[in-house]
Amino acid sequence: GWKDAISTTIINFNNEKMQITWAAREVFPNENVSFSYTFDEGKYKVWKTCPTYLLDQDYNSGCLFKTEGPTLAISIRNSNGSEELFSKRLKSDFYIKPNPPENVTFFWKADTVTVSCNKPKRAVKCLRLELQYKSKFDKDWQSRTSKCCSVGEQGFDPRKCYSFRVRLKRLVPYCNVVNYSSDWEAETFWMNGTLLDSCDDDIKSQSNTVIFLSCLLAVLLMILILLILLCKCQRLQKSVMPAVPDPKYIFADLFNDHNGNFQEWIHKTDHAMVQTKIEYEEPELIIEAESQQEDERKSDKQGPQEKIFSFSRADENNDPKADQIACPMPTSNTIASFAGFQILMNDDMYVML
């Protein structure tokens, strides 16, 4: 009775290879067992030893061999094969695990997606095509199953990126006693009918754009704030600490022409000022002479006129009451000036102001 209680796992890979495994360490802890199998029926069975053992810590824990028929008999014996420890008969067709779908294609039309694959060579009626998908905003996969070998689904948003994966399943219990499905086909990424390398690319591109615009805005804002602070600091500096003029620019000739020699610079500067003063006074003398000549002409025409002589205020202070002094003067049409006092003259007298 304990022989029938041994747990085994049986997988028929697409009806091409069989894999039988058992818990060697738990069931046979101190013995390295042997495995035999046969696909023959009737009294005359030809038992074959396992061609490829699966190991668990150097103990035989399984066997891999070729599928040769629908009926299988297995036997587990002790290490030398003299004692049978476990035996079982089974239908290999009830343990089939299909291969992943081949040549998977996606057809997009508006918000509808149709997925199809090539039909397997055997037992197509026992197979179902399962489609799973999710967008970048979904946490769990959405599933859709249909007959082999085409499945369709509606309601896809063209603005979203979707992940797709498909696999084949065996019907239970009509075709299999164990619910076996194929491995998932390679995951693909689609957006509005366009195949992408990854949905992360779409997220990264959007996030990179947002980050770039945010950084650009922050930099522009910082530049604006710095300019405002700079203008305010310059105004505050001018109001609190006025700029001291640099003598280098005021006395440029002192530093450039005379290398800072003040004596040489002041000597040449005084000489230039005297020259300028002389050049400036000469036109005044000419103008004064011309005005005197004009006055003489007028006096000749108008007859006797008063003449003006100028004296200094010092004489005025000696005789403050004498604002005007009349003195006989020889007839003359010229204007005399003495030390800043003006003398008004006519033919027989003059008046001092």
DSSP state of 312: -
**pLDDT above 70 coverage of the chain, percent:** 64
Question: Does the pLDDT value for residue 317 go beyond 80?
Answer: no
Cα dihedral 28, 29, 35, 41 in deg (nearest 10): 10
Q: Which token pair is 335?
A: 């204007």
State mean pLDDT over 121-138: 90
pLDDT digits (tens, 9 = 90+) for 190-224: 988 888 888 875 555 556 677 878 888 888 888 98
Domain covering 8-97 assigned CATH 2.60.40.10 in the classification: yes
Residue 294, pLDDT above cutoff 70: no
Q: What is the mean pLDDT of the chain?
A: 76
Quick one: pLDDT at residue 321? 44
pLDDT of residue 232: 78
Average pLDDT value for residue range 306-322:
44
Give the pLDDT score at 255: 64
The CATH number corresponding to 105-196 among 2.60.40.10, 3.40.640.10, 3.40.50.970, 3.40.50.2020 equals: 2.60.40.10
Q: Residue 129: what pLDDT?
A: 94
- Structure-model confidence comparison of residues 268 and 113, the more confident one: 113
Q: What are phi and psi of 334, to 5 degrees?
A: -100, 160
> pLDDT tens for residues 333-345?
444 444 444 444 4
Q: How large is the average pLDDT for residues 166-173? A: 93
Confidence of residue 96 (pLDDT cuts 50, 70, 90): very high
8-97 matches 105-196 in fold: yes
Percent above pLDDT 90 for the chain: 34
Q: Where are the domains of the chain?
A: 8-97, 105-196
Whether residue 279 is predicted with pLDDT greater than 60 in this model: the reply is: no
Tell me the average pLDDT across 150-156: 90
> Which strand ranges, in their side-by-side order, compose the sheet holding 34-38?
48-49, 34-38, 71-77, 84-91
DSSP track, 260-301 = T-HHHHHHHHHHHHHHHHHHHHHHHHHHHHHHHHHHHHHHHH
- pLDDT digit string, tens, across residues 17-37: 999 999 888 888 888 899 999
Looking at residue 246, what is its pLDDT?
A: 59
Question: Does position 50 have pLDDT exceeding 80, yes or no?
Answer: yes
Residues 40-48, mean pLDDT to the nearest whole number: 84
Q: How confident is the model at residue 45 (pLDDT cuts 50, 70, 90)?
A: confident
Whether 44 and 58 have beta carbons less than 8 Å apart is answered as: no
48-to-33, 40, 124, 236 alpha-carbon distances in Å: 15, 11, 31, 102
Nearest to 341 by CA among 320, 316, 322, 321: 316
Question: Considering only 113-117, 150-154, 228-232, 347-351, which range has the smallest mean pLDDT?
Answer: 347-351
The whole-number pLDDT of residue 38 equals 94
User: Average of pLDDT values for 142-151?
Assistant: 91
> What pLDDT is attached to residue 36?
94
- Alpha-helical (H) ranges within 19-174 are 24-27
Q: What is the pLDDT of residues 241-264, one digit of tens each?
A: 666 665 555 566 666 666 667 677
DSSP-derived 3-state class of residue 8: strand
Q: What is the pLDDT of residues 55-70, one digit of tens each?
A: 988 889 999 999 999 9
Q: Give yes or no for a contact between 115 and 150, defined as CB atoms under 8 angstroms apart.
A: yes
For residue 65, the model assigns a pLDDT of: 96
CA angle 187, 193, 194 (to 5 degrees): 70
